[in-house]
Amino acid sequence: MLRQSPFIDDNTVLGLKLFQYWRINPTFHFYLPLRGDNQSLAFRINTGIAKPFGDSETLPYEKFFFAGGGSSIRAWQPRRLGPGAFTPPVNEDGTFDYRFERPGEIILEGNIEYRFPMVSFIRGAVFLDVGNVWTIDENPQQPGGQFHWDQFWQQLAIGTGFGFRFNLPFLLFRLDFGLKVYDPARRSDRRWVIRQFNPFNPFAQDLMLVNIGIGYPF
C-alpha cells in the first residue's frame, strides 16, 4: 500500500502530517476436513513488511505489525511479542514487563489448529502458533529486534495450547489457554521455557495465558 501525494509541502498536507510508506501483508488460510464428526485442521500463514520512504522516518502507528494475542501467538499477551530477540524489562518477581506494545515492520506467523466436537454446542481445539515481529533497522532501545536472515529462525516464538468454542445461537464464544514453549526474549540457553512449566501451578512465570474472543481465531 502506498501513501503519497503530489501536494507535498514540508511533509504536511493542509496542515496535517503526511506519511509516505509502502506496506504488503499477504495472508494465507487453508482448511482441511478430516474423517469423522465435523473434525478439521485449520492453517494460517501471515506475512508482512512495511517501510517508510521519502521524507517520512516512521510508519503511522496503526500500520506497524504486532504479534501476540487471541488471533496471533496465543501464549503471549496482545501485541507484546518481540521484536526479534529483544528482552523486555524485568519486574521485581522476575517476570517480563509487558505493559507496552511492541511494534515491528516485519511479521512472520504460522498457526495450525485441530478442531473437533465435544459435547452439544461445545467444540474443542488444540493448536500450535509460531511467529514474531522484527524491525528493519537497528533500534538502540530494542537490541536484538532487527531482522537478520541468518538469525530470524532462532527468534520465532513457539506457543501451544488448547481451547473451547461455545457455538451459541447468536455468536461463537472462544476460550483459549496458550502455553509458551520457546521464548526468544530469553537467554539462548533458557529459551525452551516449556521445561519450567508446572502443571500444578500453570500460570506461574507467565508461561500460560487465557485468551477470550468472539469467532474463530482464523
What CATH number is attached to the domain comprising 162?
2.40.160.50
Q: Which pLDDT belongs to residue 2? A: 43
Q: Which pLDDT belongs to residue 9? A: 38
Decide if 104 contacts 68 (C-beta within 8 A): no
Average pLDDT over residues 145-160: 98
Give the alpha-carbon dihedral of 97, 99, 101, 107, to 10 degrees. Answer: 40
Decide if 103 contacts 64 (C-beta within 8 A): yes
For residue 4, pLDDT beyond 60: no
- pLDDT tens-digit map of 165-179: 999 999 999 999 999
C-alpha cell at 132: 514474531
For residue 3, pLDDT beyond 60: no
Q: How far apart are CA 132 and CA 130, in angstroms?
A: 7
Residue type, position 34, single letter: L
In a domain, 16, yes or no: no
For residue 211, pLDDT beyond 60: yes
Q: Which pLDDT belongs to residue 35? A: 82
Q: Which pLDDT belongs to residue 15? A: 62
CA neighbor of 2 nearest in space, from 18, 15, 19, 21: 21
| Chain position carrying cell 489448529 | 113
Decide if 162 contacts 125 (C-beta within 8 A): yes
Which residues lie across from 110 on neighbouring strands?
45, 130
Decide if 102 contacts 133 (C-beta within 8 A): yes
Q: Which pLDDT belongs to residue 36? A: 74
Average pLDDT over residues 24-29: 98
Q: What is the number of structural domains in the chain?
A: 1
In a domain, 93, yes or no: yes
For residue 10, pLDDT beyond 70: no
Task: State whether the Cα torsion 97-101-102-107 is positive or negative.
Answer: positive
- pLDDT tens-digit map of 79-131: 999 999 999 999 988 889 999 999 999 999 999 999 999 999 999 999 999 99
pTM of the model: 0.89
In a domain, 49, yes or no: yes
In a domain, 55, yes or no: yes
For residue 199, pLDDT beyond 70: yes
Residue type, position 186, single letter: R
Q: How far apart are the first and last CA of the chain?
A: 23
How remote is the C-alpha of 25 from its chain's centroid? 14
**Domain containing 160: what range?**
25-214
For 47-51, 71-75, 104-108, 138-142, which range has the lowest pLDDT when averaged over its residues? 138-142
Decide if 88 contacts 97 (C-beta within 8 A): yes
| Chain position carrying cell 469423522 | 36
The whole-chain average pLDDT of the chain stands at 92
In a domain, 113, yes or no: yes
Q: Which pLDDT belongs to residue 104? A: 98
In a domain, 51, yes or no: yes
In a domain, 148, yes or no: yes
In a domain, 3, yes or no: no
How open is the CA angle 181-183-189, to the nearest 5 degrees?
100
DSSP conformation class of 30: E
